[in-house]
Amino acid sequence: MNVLDVHAHIDMHEFDKDRREIIKKCASLGISVINNGLNPESNRKTIALSKEFDNVLPALGLYPQYATKISKEEVEKEISFIKNNHPIAIGEIGLDYKWENSQKDVQLKFFKKMLGLAQELGVPAIIHSRQAESDVLETLKSFDLKVVLHCFGGNKKQVLEGISANHYFSIPPRIMTNSEMQELVRLVPLKQVLLETDSPFMSERKGLRNDPTHVLHTIKKISEIKKMNEETVIEQIKKNQKIFRQV
């Protein structure tokens, strides 16, 4: 079984010059990538990449900001596209209250709809939350789902709440330089840890393009924090990855 980057956006223009080389490099290093769609266009690119490469797997979703921009008809159309294309997970979905005029009520309604879709399909949900952690955790209580909290930035109390709800936390390479993420990994039991890159974002340091091969750096850092050898960390993370049934 390959090591899995559970959250990347390799369909983005940042990879237009070397997308294929990177995906092939991942394959040679034993890395598979779950590409997360953000909107109708990237959902289609995600499906195309997953058809071309065995080590790219599709997660399909609609990013929170879309909730306030897209018509009801378009949402229904996209949901049937998602159902027809058998995603490995629903993502990227979530709540984002960072923006002014974030229309919380509209986002919440939409988030519940997407979580309902994941539940109906029996696949995990990959969740973005920004300045919305308590609403995310509260909303998840009404669903029976495997949950991956991507780049979770909640406070200690919220992290502990996520742990006791059996959610998974996916950790990006930013952990190399970000002390809050290091603290997150200290708190979360290894059996609830997954790897992500959020490529091209969330690399070791701001401004540097991320790519899925960087999960190897994250493994190193996690093993250092957990005081375990890398083999043990990889073995446990591979067990955790089984929440994605097609891996």
- Residues of the shown chain interacting with Zn ion in the complex, contacts defined by CB under 5 A: 92, 198
β-strand pairing of 168-171 with 3-8: unpaired
Closest CB to Zn ion among residues 96, 198? 198
- CB nearest Zn ion: which residue? 198
Smallest separation, CB 13 to Zn ion (Å): 15
Q: How far is the CB of 177 from Zn ion (least distance, A)?
A: 19
Name which of 5 and 92 has its Cβ closer to Zn ion: 92
Instruction: Give the nearer residue to Zn ion in terms of CB position, either 35 or 240.
Output: 35
Residue carrying the six token digits 């990959």 = 126
* Nearest distance from C-beta of residue 198 to Zn ion, angstroms: 5
What's the CA angle centered on 187, arms 181 and 191, to 5 degrees?
100
Looking at beta carbons only, is 72 or 207 nearer to Zn ion? Answer: 207
Pairing of strands 125-130, 147-150: parallel
Across the chain, which distance is largest between two alpha carbons, in Å? Answer: 51
CB of 151 to Zn ion, least distance (A): 8
With contact defined as beta carbons under 8 Å apart, do 240 and 227 qualify? no
Distances in Å between the alpha carbon of 62 and those of 25, 29, 216?
A: 28, 30, 28
